Amino acid sequence: RGRKLRRDQLMSLTTYEVDDRGVALIQLDRANALNAINVQMLVEMLEHIAVARSDENVRALVFSSTDYMAFSAGADIKEELDEEGGIQRMQLFADLYDAIVQFPKPTLTACHGYTVGGGAEIAICSDIRIGGSNLQMRFPGAALGVPVGPARLVSLCGLSAAKYLLLSSNVIKCDEAFRLNLVNQISPGAATENATLELAARIAAYEPESVANIKRMLHRWDDIEGRSADEGRGQVEAQRSGKGLH
C-alpha cells in the first residue's frame, strides 16, 4: 500500500496509511488485548481521522485491525484511571463517535471477529460495514451501565431490534447481523479487510463531491449527527455521575 504513519514504531497502538486509490486505512494494533481500546488508542484514532479529513487525496476511510480474529473487544475496562481520567476517556469515546459520524467522506468498517462495545460503536458510526464470517458483535451498554448505542442503532435496524440488541447485550453472529442490517455484506473472516478495502476503492473512484453531497443529504434528513452528539453528551454525563465504565 502507500504511505504509512506511526507516531512511534515501538509504542503506537494504531496504524494509518493511504493507498494510491485514495483509500485511508486505520488499523487497531493491539492484538494481545483483542484490540481493547485504551486512552492512547482513542487519541491516536482521533489524530488519524483529522489527518484523513484534511487530506484532499483521501476519498474514503476504512477502519480495521491487524488481527482478523478481533476488530475490537471494546473499551479497555482494565485500564487504570482515576475518576477524572474515566470522564476524560468517555469524552474521547464520544468525540471519536462524532468524528466518524461527521466525517464528510465515506467510512467503512471491517467487522471481523470480536466487534464489541466501543468496537461495535465504531462500526455503526461508519457508513458501511462488511461482516466477517467469524463476527461476534455485542452492544453491552446495559450490562456495563453505559447509555450508548440508541442514536445510531435505531436508524440501522429499527426500534424493536435496537431494543433487543441493547437491552439483552446478546452476542450477534454474522448471519443474524446481516439479517438485522448491522452489516451490509458478508466475507470470509480472514478476507474481511480486503473486501472492505475493495468496496472503499470502488466508491473512491466516483466523483468525490457527488458522493459527499449524497452523504450530506442522507445525514441531514436523518439527523444522525445531531442524535449522535446528544448521545455522546449523555454518556459523558453518566460517567460523571458515577454510572459509566469502572
**Confidence band (pLDDT; 50, 70, 90) for 10?**
low
- The predicted-structure confidence for 22-42, as pLDDT tens digits, reads as follows 999 999 999 999 999 999 999
Side chain identity at residue 180, one-letter code: L
Residue 16 and residue 37: Cα distance in Å, rounded?
16
Read off the pLDDT of residues 131-167 as tens digits, 9 standing for 90 and up.
999 999 999 999 988 888 999 999 999 999 999 999 9
- CA dist., res. 223 & res. 135, Å (int): 29
| 190: its cell numbers | 480472514
Average pLDDT of span 58-82? 96
Cα gap 165→137, rounded to integer Å: 10
In this prediction, residue 242 carries a pLDDT of: 85
Report the C-alpha gap between 60 and 23 in whole angstroms.
5
- Laid out side by side, the sheet with 171-173 consists of 70-72, 114-116, 136-138, 171-173
